[in-house]
Amino acid sequence: MQKKPSNREKIEQQLMNKKFDMVVIGGGITGAGIALDAATRGMEVVLVEMQDFSAGTSSRSTKLVHGGLRYLKQFEVKMVAEVGKEREVVYENGPHVTTPEWMLLPLHQGGTFGKFSTNIGLRVYDFLAGVKKSERRKMLSKDETLSKEPLIKKDGLKGGGHYVEYRTDDSRLTVEVLKKAVDNGATAINYTKVENFLYDKIGMVEGVEVRNLIAGTVYPIYANTIVNATGPWVDTLRTIDGSKKGKTLQLTKGVHLVIDQSVFPLKQAIYFDTSDGRMVFAIPRDGKTYVGTTDTFYSDDPIHPSMSIEDRDYILGAIKFMFPSVSVSAADVESSWAGVRPLILEDGKDPSEISRKDEIWESESKLITIAGGKLTGYRKMAETVVNLVASRLQEKTGKTFKNCMTKSLPISGGEVGGSKGFSTYIKEVVEKGINAGLSKEDAEKIAKLYGSNAPILYELAKESIGKHEELSPVVLSRIRYAMEYEFAMTPTDILLRRTGMLLFDIDKVQEIKEAVIEYMANYYNWSEERKNILTAELEEEIQKATVPFEGNLIKN
Ligand SMILES: Cc1cc2nc3c(=O)[nH]c(=O)nc-3n(C[C@H](O)[C@H](O)[C@H](O)COP(=O)(O)OP(=O)(O)OC[C@H]3O[C@@H](n4cnc5c(N)ncnc54)[C@H](O)[C@@H]3O)c2cc1C
């Protein structure tokens, strides 16, 4: 990805002086996937994001690349088959951001899934998703289930289903996809908001007017096609275009809680029933257990979803219901996050019943909108959108483009020999980290997180040894990498999205936040005013993650 933030001005110059094949609005996983697909087909594409990349829903999911087993109950066979197969593709192209995770589905008397139906359901799932032999489902007896996870409620337990899903870091996945797009010639810029559309004489959209939210400048970007990939905001953009007609979005909010393993020592990922007939995940990760999600209709601004006391208590209740021996109280919630799902409205359905499928809408002005969908299906969604864009571009300009090639294209950091080669790659590259002065443990950590980009971080760490009292070389290498290669512009970009520390290591954030702010302020030469604004923004994010928002109580 482009080095050095000063490139922002250079990039803006290019944006103003050129007509692109496509502008993608929205730097979540959907937009990033489209930018990558388009760039690799030879299109000149620019992606603009009004916040940080992934700051919308794409950093707020359950962080699973999964087929959506529960959608089988709603007979969404096509979606389960397609998304299920995509899990493998996402994994193979980026094993450093996606890891197989055996999931346990405990089966209780009167629960959502019976033993027989689970056996059949998981078999259908394996078949539809084309699951490889070593990862096919196993049915477990009651004792086997309890030996996998002794904390599960014993009362009424009949056994369990054991099957594979994939754990990811949604925000890093998005950024790695985007970096690969940029490596292939795409231009991407964050903190740049589309405020208006520009139209030609016959009312066809031919560009966007954007505002640089850091410098305050406004400028146009022209393109032959415009794609609205703004997730929860797609209707806002359609309203600006005057094309919010027919189908619309229905937002629902989902919250996750993070609890320390010393309080909730879960050793096995669990997908379990709640007392109100929903299903919730509990997943061990980095010394913590995270649990979620809720699913409630949401009508506020999608930019500020946060946990309410009701959300928190619902999840605590669900933990109590399935893990009665675990004593977790509100005070044990270390951190949390909330996101809004951009679902397509289906009248009369409960939030959890609304389909997660995606659709493409094209307005009279030829604005292309991609709505709905899941993180897992991003690549396939991108392929469909870019196929349409390619045909529109051919009609309009006569240009032709290559076919989609993302199915076997490693994302940034993914050049590690696929899932099979990843462990060998780690063993080999760790030597470089050790030679750069890192401990084996630190070198391994970097290799696992950054895959084939690890050597860049090792070099940054080497340059950082002995340079900073409060920030270790490893932390400093991650900060510098985020700023120099991943367009991180604020402390929140780094501590929340590029490193995930704010969610899974909040104590560390409290310890280093001032040093990080100082370091960034120097690097970017911030004014006192900007530094204060960004410090307040970080504090607000910490508050949001740790303290429930009382105001939400009334609205839920
Ligand atoms: C609680 C929860 C759990 C989930 N769990 C999973 C899961 O485990 N697995 C899975 O596959 N899926 C999951 N999903 C779904 C998945 O997270 C979303 O489908 C996906 O992240 C949507 O990505 P997106 O790019 O479409 O939207 P977003 O990530 O929201 O991106 C849209 C972007 O557009 C930007 N934008 C908006 N307006 C403008 C403008 N005017 N100018 C410029 N930029 C603009 C926004 O800032 C935003 O960053 C979950 C969703 C939620 C809410």
pLDDT tens for the 556 residues of the chain, in order: 545 555 888 899 999 989 999 999 999 999 999 999 999 999 999 999 999 999 999 999 999 998 666 666 666 667 777 777 888 899 999 999 999 999 999 999 888 777 777 777 777 777 777 778 888 888 999 999 999 999 999 999 999 999 888 999 999 999 999 999 999 999 999 999 999 999 999 999 999 999 999 999 999 999 999 999 999 999 999 999 999 988 899 999 999 999 999 999 999 999 999 999 889 999 999 999 999 999 999 999 999 898 999 999 999 999 999 999 999 999 999 999 999 999 988 777 778 777 778 899 999 999 999 998 889 999 999 999 999 999 999 999 999 999 999 999 999 999 999 999 999 999 999 999 999 999 999 999 999 999 999 999 999 999 988 888 899 999 999 999 999 999 999 999 999 999 999 999 999 999 999 999 999 999 999 999 999 999 999 999 998 888 776 544 434 3
Range 313-319 contact pairs with CB under 8 angstroms and sequence separation of 24 or more? 315/255, 315/256, 315/257, 315/280, 315/291, 316/257, 317/274, 317/275, 318/272, 318/274, 318/275, 318/280, 318/291, 319/264, 319/282, 319/291
379 lines ligand 1 (CB under 6 A): no
Output the residue whose Cα is nearest ligand 1's atom 41. Answer: 194
Does the beta carbon of 385 lie inside 6 Å of ligand 1? Answer: no
Retrieve residue 64's tokens: 């699973």
Q: Which of 230, 307, 311 to mutate to test the pocket of ligand 1 (most atoms within 8 A of CB)?
A: 230
- For ligand 1, whether the C-beta of 188 sits within 6 Å is no
Name 366's Cβ contacts closer than 8 Å, sequence gap at least 6: 204, 205, 225, 226, 392
Separation of alpha carbons 24 and 102, rounded Å? 36
pLDDT at 239: 97
Nearest-10 crossing angle of helices 170-183, 29-40: 20
User: How far does residue 344's CA lie from ligand 1's centre (Å)?
Assistant: 13
User: 437: helix, coil or strand?
Assistant: coil
Is the C-alpha dihedral spanning 377, 170, 235, 549 positive or negative? positive
Candidate from 233, 337, 343 with most ligand 1 atoms within 8 A of CB, to mutate: 233
Q: Does the CB atom of residue 374 touch ligand 1 within 6 A?
A: yes
Ligand 1 nearest-atom number relative to CA 53: 49
Helices (H), 57-169: 77-93, 115-128, 142-148
Residue 229 phi/psi, 5° resolution? -120, 50
Q: CA-CA distances (angstroms) from residue 325 to 63, 151, 273, 328, 480? A: 26, 7, 17, 9, 44
Per DSSP (E only), the strands in 110-203 are 138-140, 157-168, 187-189, 192-199
Burial of 269 (0-12, 13-18, 19+ CB in 10 A): buried
d(CA 178, ligand 1 centre) in Å = 14
Between the CA of residue 435 and those of 130, 352, 448, 472, 475, what are the distances in Å? 42, 51, 17, 17, 18
Q: Which DSSP letter does residue 153 get?
A: -
Largest CA distance in the chain: 72
269-273 and 98-108: which strand pairing? parallel
Kind and range of the H or E run holding 106: strand 98-108
Planar angle of CA 430, 434, 437, nearest 5 degrees? 145
Give the count of beta carbons closer than 10 Å to the beta carbon of residue 148: 18
**Would you say the CB of residue 255 lies under 6 angstroms from ligand 1?**
no
Q: Are 80 and 72 in contact (CB under 8 A)?
A: yes
Count CB neighbours of 325 within 10 A: 10
Question: Backbone phi, then psi, for 255, in 5-degree steps?
Answer: -120, 145
Q: Whose CA is nearest to atom 35 of ligand 1?
A: 26
Give the integer Cα–Cα distance in Å for 322 and 112.
13
Which pLDDT score, from 0 to 100, does residue 64 have? 95
DSSP states of 349-404: --GGGS---EEEEE-TT-EEEEEE--GGGHHHHHHHHHHHHHHHHHHHH----PPP
Query: Minimal CA–CA distance to 281: which of 264, 267, 293?
Result: 293
H/E run at residue 231: none
Q: How many CB atoms lie within 10 A of CB 28?
A: 29
Instruction: Tell me how long the chain is.
Output: 556
Write out the two tokens for 436.
Answer: 């750069």
C-alpha to C-alpha distance for 32 and 48, rounded to whole angstroms: 10
Report the predicted TM-score, pTM, of the whole model to 2 decimal places: 0.95
Which residue, by CA, sits nearest to atom 4 of ligand 1? 61
Cα-trace Rg, the chain: 23
C-beta of residue 378 within 8 angstroms of C-beta of residue 31: no
Own/partner long-range contacts of 109-117 (Cβ < 8 Å, ≥24 apart): 109/156, 109/158, 110/156, 111/156, 111/273, 112/70, 112/73, 112/273, 112/277, 112/279, 113/161, 115/139, 115/158, 115/159
CA of 296 relative to ligand 1 center, distance in Å: 16
**CA 373 / ligand 1 centre spacing (Å):** 9
Q: Quick check: CB of 167 below 6 Å from ligand 1? A: no
Bridge partner list, 157: 108
27 lines ligand 1 (CB under 6 A): yes
Using alpha carbons, select from 68, 61, 124, 143 the residue that is nearest to residue 375.
Answer: 61
CB 319 within 8 A of CB 326: yes
pLDDT at position 551: 45
- Chain centre to alpha carbon of residue 195: 24
231 lines ligand 1 (CB under 6 A): yes
Amino acid at 171: S
